[in-house]
Amino acid sequence: MKETPQELKIHNNMKKGMISVTGFLGDDERHYHEIIADDKKNLEKIGLSADKIADRLEYFSRKAFPVYDGTTIIDEIYQVEYRSYRGRIMCPFGHGGGYRKGEITLVNLQNNARLCWTPLNEHMIRTHCFFEGVGSNHRLDPEIIKKALF
């Protein structure tokens, strides 16, 4: 299938150095459409939706943000740290505005499952069902998400 000019632009935006120094694809050589399709299959297999995951990530981000560069315990189970950075980052899919630069790290204290995500991840999961490519800095594997958050 031939890429449209818009799809080509999105794919180029995901490469290293375009919007992000490290990019959104990591070592993954699949097209972003394939990454999304495979993650949708995984979501179906584990019984979660992109919206449910994005809601949960957003819940922890909102609870942790006021602590500002510190660690907090949420719901007596989750240790969460929000590190904030200056500036905003654009969505590689071309949505206007920008997303706060920051990194949220969560450890489930019951099973030691660990996740690290950004506010942009929340948007890309909710809006595009895009969890990033395998090997990218902020790839969120749906099975690890389920273990850590649900």
Average pLDDT over residues 128-132: 98
- Using DSSP's 3-state secondary structure scheme, residue 38 falls into helix
- Report pLDDT for 1: 63
Assess whether pLDDT exceeds 70 at residue 19.
Answer: yes
Assess whether pLDDT exceeds 90 at residue 130.
Answer: yes
Strand order in the sheet with 78-89: 71-74, 78-89, 99-108, 114-117
Return all residues near 88 (Cβ < 8 A) that are at least 6 apart: 97, 98, 99, 100, 101
Residue 121 is encoded by which pair of tokens? 């991840």
Assess whether pLDDT exceeds 70 at residue 101.
Answer: yes
- pLDDT category of residue 78 using cuts at 50, 70 and 90: very high
> What residues make up the domain containing 10?
5-149
- Report pLDDT for 3: 85
- Please tell me the pTM assigned to this model: 0.93
The number of helices, as runs of H, and strands, as runs of E, in the chain is: 5, 4
Residue 65 is encoded by which pair of tokens? 């943000």
Range scoring the smallest mean pLDDT among 1-5, 13-17, 38-42: 1-5
Q: Determine how many CB atoms are found less than 10 A away from the CB of residue 104.
A: 23
Average pLDDT over residues 115-126: 97
The span from the first CA to the last CA of the chain, in angstroms, equals 37
Query: b vs e for 42-54, b when ≥16 Cβ sit within 10 Å of the residue's Cβ?
Result: bbeeeebebebbb
Assess whether pLDDT exceeds 80 at residue 69.
Answer: no
Please tell me the total count of domains within the chain: 1
Report d(CA 64, CA 41) in Å as an integer. 31
Average pLDDT over residues 10-29: 94
